[in-house]
Amino acid sequence: MKFISTRGDAPSLNFEEVVLAGLAADGGLYVPETLPKFSKDEIASWSGLSYQELAFNIISPFVDGEIADADLKTIIAKAYQTFRHGAIAPLVQTGRNEWVLELFQGPTLAFKDFALQFLGHLLDYILDKRQQKVAVLGATSGDTGSAAIEGCRRCENIDIFILHPHNRVSEVQRRQMTTVLADNVVNVALEGNFDDCQNMVKASFRDQSFLPEGRQLVAVNSINWARIMAQIVYYFYSALSLGGPHKKVSFSVPTGNFGDIYAGYLAMQMGLPIEQLIIATNQNDILHRCISDNDHSRKSLSQSLAPSMDIMVSSNFERLLFDLYGRDGTEIKRLMNEFESGAMVLSDQALTDARKVFSSYRLDDQGMLSTIQQVFESTGYVLDPHTAIGVAAARENRKNDSTPLVCLATAHPAKFPEAVMKAEGLLEPDLPVHMQDLFSREERCVTLSNDLTAVHQFINQRLS
């Protein structure tokens, strides 16, 4: 299988190359030249498989034999062996035909563990085979960083640098990153917001001349195709648990960088019968404005109680646009240049096609707190702020009460105790046993200004 850039001016790559490349040389994102397609009968035959067995069936067509089946199965087994629940991604019912998919059973209590535990072991395998050392550079709005660090901390061939926005992540999120004292882990608090961190990562991938000789950057953000690929699996897994593929299932997804819900779109394209994909946003609502009003314009970023969604540049939206515009890289380049100037406007056809698949919803902090309180009062179940936005979006946007609706729970509520306790009647949620000493652990982090040259000099010094 070959992977091509959304902007059309970069060479096509094979699977191992695309994992190491991250961002394409032309600034675009890599996508498969063709997607594997599964019939209803084939999907139905997977009912009853373990999560790991299902992951192998879905991931192996993308790998296309570059990794031996036995080795790929070992990588997948290692990726999910540290998850706390035997089901890996258990479903919990929170309403009539409404389910929460708990994607926080991994070691860092967030859905990013599904992709980044897999990516860490995958990189370990590829780099060991190639006898190559790399520098991982990532930006995080809170959860990617700790999941990437946990996935890469034991990799002898990786030095990992994670940028997070200074004072704009929860204390639990920050400590999950900064208390990992491994020699190959470097945390940088950047004086800016998440978009500043993300822009710095993208600029660094475009020009890697600041690195010492023999080193290259590898992406852990969802610009890396392997992350998107790993997230496709839990859409199939949850749908099979609820009667798929013989009945359709809908999904509501808390959305910031568009990677998680894009994986659901891919699952649909690969043959999974999905009735609805609901984009759930907080007040940083560029994706909701785009789908509802064709308003994809930059506005000032607002700090919220759901900080992992405080994003105004949703990188993976470019991958969807590539399909909406007939996989025309020239058009995507024009659109992204338009957006760089402040706004982009979708064609009538592209917007119509997007609305056939996606609906969207916006919820502010007060609405989110009300949803946490309502769900707790009716079920005793505690939602984190991001998942609460997904549940509210599901309840406001569902088209068919007879279709199972799955809300993706992106994080454990204990990662956001300040937000949860603002909801009336709720106490501070407890951290799992393995993290209960988190607030007494030593931290290690450096604060840098939002200056590309300064960050590059810092990275170069650490690697030289």
Active site residues: 112
For residues 124 and 122, give the distance between their C-alpha atoms in angstroms, rounded to a whole number.
Answer: 5
Burial (Cβ within 10 Å: 0-12, 13-18, ≥19) of residue 442: exposed
> At a CB cut-off of 8 Å and minimum separation 6, what does 72 contact?
56, 59, 60, 63
Whats the size of the chain, residue-wise? Answer: 464
Q: Which two tokens mark 242? A: 């609820």
* Ordered DSSP codes for 88-136: SS-EEEEETTEEEEE---STTSBTHHHHHHHHHHHHHHHHHHHT--EEE
Sign of the CA dihedral 22, 19, 133, 79?
positive
**Amino acid, res. 256:** G
* Ordered DSSP codes for 310-321: --S--TTHHHHH
Question: Is the Cβ–Cβ distance between 177 and 162 less than 8 Å?
Answer: yes
Q: Which two tokens mark 343? A: 């706004």
Chain-centroid distance of CA 123 in Å reads 18
Q: Which two tokens mark 69? A: 């089946």
**Cα end-to-end distance, the chain, whole Å:** 36
> At a CB cut-off of 8 Å and minimum separation 6, what does 101 contact?
89, 90, 91, 234, 238, 406, 407, 408, 409
Q: Which two tokens mark 53? A: 């067995």
- Interior angle at CA 182, CA 179 and CA 187, nearest 5: 55
For residues 332 and 318, give the distance between their C-alpha atoms in angstroms, rounded to a whole number.
Answer: 7
